[in-house]
Structure 1
């Protein structure tokens, strides 16, 4: 065992890294704008590209604040903020004198940023003030913030992007869980100041079983790029020529393309690919059609942001054992790391890289997973283990730094992060295998993951638990409920306990995806009995093993009552149950103090019962 200078049981060492998100370059190329939680709460910062100096620009002690974009012509910037995790983001502008202004005031309103126009004199925002279930498009004047609605969303589409010349609006229209359409509206102001619009192009037919996703417009606004799984398993890149209306497949890589965009002039093309739960980056110089390499770490780089003159690139690198670091790359020259996010007290010698593994489930299907093995685990010293189940249900556990997992592994617990059927990244057949069978076939995948762990000679097969957040919390609770003798314990982190209530209380601002959720999970009106059957709350009397429940009071997706009721029900069984409620969090935790408290509680719970 390697001697340590820090107390690895203290989760603060794992969470006191600096979490960096977002990236925008100033008009003069001198600064990058980003969000950082180095103060303990996410705020907006700027980083000088040459002086390696970071400066805090917002100073909220308890309200997480996230950078969006610099203004293209001056030092003002936009940021977003909700209220204690309620996910009702408002868009704010921060003036050079420190004054701030809410551009989207209103109770119950949710807003997001769309795009700047070519000149930088206007920008577009989305919000749902007119109708809580859909998002209209508003054009704002950068000089005085006056605005007008330029698109009234009568067709119930999901607005995704707008061309920088303001002519084309790219939208997605849901058909079912396996298919959608892309709708491109042409905005026309020729009739005075009143905007007229009608669909100019459609991609996808009503009877076509394919999903499409908008990626980006070309910088010249003459074409738009999207991904599609038409006639294949994975999401490939396609292009629509907005002049001719013709479409063509551009890239087919054998894995899902997750992002596709360009540098400001269009010279550099950026493609991010989800390759076996790891994001890989491809940068192409369109002048030469040759790859451009940022550094030796280019395959781990994400979130590229170019300076206006394309002389510098800001980007992040991340791995299982290192949180996201910010780099600045000078085109044709050096590569500098400006912010090292890792906490100096992080016990580096205890961190573990994930191993990609596969195991067979009940029907012979190969299930991918990420295996974290503690350094002390051996056949002579078998360790306890936890299954980690992601949310979604269609998300994916990826090869990224996770302080919760690393805290557990450093303290001697093996972790298997399961990407059960229904997870993204492994093709559309795999993704849809659990449709309307969630809580059944994917639960079986988790049970067989336990068998896989139990067969490893360095794992103690009698000491295996299960945990997860959101949908993963539901599966953890379902395992403890419907397979009560399989797992030693469970940790349910804001997971669903009553599908009937959750599906009937989907927030209005999620109206654009309600149809797809019902198609995947089931309609509570039409499938009442099946949804009740897979809801742990109605079968809580079967729970006989220790349970920890963690919840945010302001969660709008999984209401607090979901956790309140399951805790009370399990208490009636005389089973050990613990409840951790955060007053200032929602669906997902943002405040460092809460993240540390939660991780410490997880470890203490495992130490006591596992």
Structure 2
């Protein structure tokens, strides 16, 4: 299987396959790309079934699975997932959304190809398209009576709230903002819809709003400059909206009583609430709370505010959902060494077991590595957290090469998620340091906002400090260090090579996967969400031209002394492929060594099996040539 490479270019001495290198068992190209990613599950109203998205075989299709003890499982004698769609296009998990159940549990609504679709759970009929937006309809959810389907639509200049019916009637707009709406949530009585509003005139402000279910005046319940209020969730009795907010400096849980306007902060502490759900009846809540990259489950007694741990497993819990009888939860759970699956968790004991099994047996037997949490000191004596993957064979007697692996974003983090690239590199004998550099989420607003106005300064210092930290470990060979990243991580990889002023240089090679090189040009070339995210952090170019220039590695290419592998998707709208082309032209002018591959049909995140297999083969060849 060969990908369609739209453009291939190289300059200088090319990396060649090492004749003495073989893929470690069982890490074949088929295994690296053949696993499926389960995500965005939804528990049926009667607690009998789960629906979820399964990214596999080049698609992101919907599946339904009966749960142990359910009526449908007793009737069929099986709990295998049933596939409901067969042509839903693949997309990155972070851009996808949940399928949502109808109140009677007979159908699901979901988004695909910029439209809203409905499919019957029995699988007897083909999915029906409810909208024809062609501009990005997303986030569908049923009204409590099942007569309306609310969704977010980009059919105007901005994303606004609309509704249609299960019959696909002409959509009705509920908002007409010069700004974007997200996360619609109908009230339990069906009279109102809560949502998050992102004003265009203040990109660092997220508000909680409500609007009458069939149209009327919008009420802005929260809103303050620099504050992100999100995840509005109605209490079962409809009197209160719980939501998360970073107004304290961390992402905490708050409750707003609608009748009185009273706002109460529920959680406090140096950790972020990443997700939560009310119990039926509203007396308790389950929360996922992120501390040092692990999102553990906790139970909250709403009346007293008492918070108790429910399940901690050195991994990442997400999308917790209560059973109707409140005795158990469903939740998505993964670790750096275990693929995401849907688990059932007892709400009394915390005992858990998987409901799905997405990990291939060969991968389970591959001996994957759990990282250790670590910290290192960067410039200004800043402490930088991260995850360190150590190959089992590495020792002072046999030190290994190592890779610094910055994440994308920068408003993201290396949490305890499954990461195939990291595991594959460790299997090949590389140590991997995944730093949560300044600008990352999960470590408080001061850490997250450290890059505002000045991309490419503190974060680049953190990359160089990460290399120094690795070189100081007695089981790492400090003369064989590389750096690899995607998106913002790619930008940092290029920047670190350009700003490394040590002789000899820290890094022997770098890999830049669909990243920026000139952030002012990227601001002009990219899509609106990416442009607004850049403005939110760096300000408008007219107010910070010097900062945009100082943060762009293309102007320091002459300082790069290490070979660079560049990979990009030809259809990337977030970081336009012109960014890699501009970098390549600068590298050529300064007679630098590089390789470039641009893949046809790929966007901001490689999804096609052929592309991924070529990517792994190329990445391995490149790193092995320069570091092994």
TM range (shorter): 0.7 to 0.9
Q: Give the Cα–Cα distance (whole angstroms) in 2 for the partners of residues 224 and 561 of structure 1.
A: 45
Q: Does 1:605 align with 2:625?
A: no
Q: Which residue of 1 aligns with 2:143?
A: 117
Residue in structure 1 matched with residue 414 of structure 2 by the alignment: 397
* Partner in structure 1 of residue 156 of structure 2: 130
Corresponding position: 1:47 with 2:90? no
Instruction: Name 1:146's counterpart in structure 2.
Output: 169
Relative to structure 1, the CA distance from residue 71 to residue 263 in structure 2 (aligned partners, 3 Å threshold; closer, same or farther) is: same
Residues of 1 paired with 2:379 and 2:601: CA distance? 41
Query: Residue in 1 aligned with 2:518?
Result: 498
Question: Aligned match of 1:487 in 493, 497, 507?
Answer: 507
1:25-174, aligned counterparts within 5 Å?
25-50=43-68, 51-60=78-87, 63-64=90-91, 68-82=99-113, 89-95=114-120, 96-107=123-134, 109-131=135-157, 134-142=158-166, 144-164=167-187, 165-174=190-199
Give the 3-state SS of the residue equivalent to 2:79 in structure 1. Answer: coil
In structure 1, the residue corresponding to 2:292 is in which secondary structure?
coil
Q: Distance in 2 between matches of 1:367 and 1:335?
A: 33
- Contact preservation (8 Å) 2:242, 2:253: yes
Question: Distance between the aligned counterparts of 1:588 and 1:358, measured in 2?
Answer: 29
Q: Is the 8 Å Cα contact of residues 178 and 211 (structure 1) preserved in structure 2?
A: no
Of 371-380 and 156-165, deviating more is 156-165
Q: How does 1:200-239 map to 2 (within 5 A)?
A: 201-204=221-224, 206=225, 210-230=227-247, 232-239=248-255
Query: How many residue pairs are counted as aligned between the two chains?
Result: 585
Cα RMSD of the aligned pairs, angstroms, is 3.1
Any residues of structure 2 matched to 1:160-199 within 5 Å, and which?
Answer: 160-164=183-187, 165-174=190-199, 180=205, 182-187=207-212, 195-199=215-219
Task: Indicate conservation of the 8 Å contact 1:169/1:186, yes or no.
Answer: yes
Q: TM-score with structure 2 length normalisation?
A: 0.85
Displacement after TM superposition at 1:38 (Å): 4.2
* Aligned-residue offset at 1:501: 1.8
Deviation at 1:265, TM superposition (A): 4.4
What residue is the counterpart of 1:283 in the other structure? Answer: 299
CA distance in 2, matches of 1:443, 1:371: 19
> Structure 1, residues 31-67: CA drift from partner, whole Å, max 9, x if none?
2111113435332111121332112222238645875
Structure 1: which 5+ runs fail to align? 83-88, 190-194
Q: Does 1:343 align with 2:360?
A: yes
1:487 Cα deviation from its structure 2 partner: 1.3
Question: Do the aligned partners of 2:110 and 2:140 also contact (CA within 8 Å) in 1?
Answer: no
For 1:329-383, what per-residue CA distance to the aligned partner results, in whole angstroms no more than 9, with x for missing partners? 5777985533222221126464211111111112111111111111111111111
Is the contact between residue 225 and residue 260 of structure 1 (CA under 8 Å) also seen in structure 2?
A: no
Deviation at 1:394, TM superposition (A): 1.6
| SS of the residue 2:381 aligns to | coil
1:263-301 per-position Cα deviation (integer Å, ceiling 9, x unaligned): 454354121111111111113466998879877859754
Distance in 2, Cα, partners of 1:294 & 1:92: 36
Given that 1:176 and 1:516 are in contact with CA atoms closer than 8 Å, whether structure 2 keeps it comes out as no
1:173 Cα deviation after fit: 4.2
Aligned residue number for residue 85 of structure 1 = none
Q: Distance in 1 between matches of 2:312 and 2:252?
A: 26
Correspondence for 1:272: 288
1:555 lines up with 2:572 in the alignment: yes
- Counterpart of 1:184 in 2: which secondary structure? strand
Give the Cα separation in 1 of the matches to 2:446 and 2:137. Answer: 34
In the superposition, relative to structure 1, how do residues 565 and 229 fare at CA in structure 2: closer, same or farther (>3 Å)? closer
1:429-449, Cα deviation, whole Å (9 max, x unpaired): 111112111111110111011
Q: CA contact under 8 A between 2:40 and 2:319: conserved in structure 1?
A: yes
Superposition deviation, residue 23 in structure 1: 1.1
> TM-score, normalization: structure 1?
0.87
User: Structure 2: which 5+ runs fail to align?
Assistant: 1-21, 69-77
Question: Residues 148 and 488 from structure 1, CA distance in 2 versus in 1: closer, same or farther, beyond 3 angstroms?
Answer: same
Is the counterpart of residue 436 in structure 1 residue 453 in structure 2?
Answer: yes
- 1:36/1:413 CA distance change after superposition, 3 Å: same
Distance 2:285 2:46 in 1: 22
Could you tell me whether the CA contact under 8 Å between 2:277 and 2:320 is conserved in 1?
no
Query: After alignment, is 477-486 or 465-474 more displaced?
Result: 477-486
User: 1:216 and 1:376 mapped to 2: Cα distance?
Assistant: 48
Deviation at 1:110, TM superposition (A): 1.3
Residue equivalent to 1:192: none
Asked if 1:520 is matched to 2:546, the reply is no
Determine if the alignment matches structure 1 residue 250 to structure 2 residue 266. Answer: yes
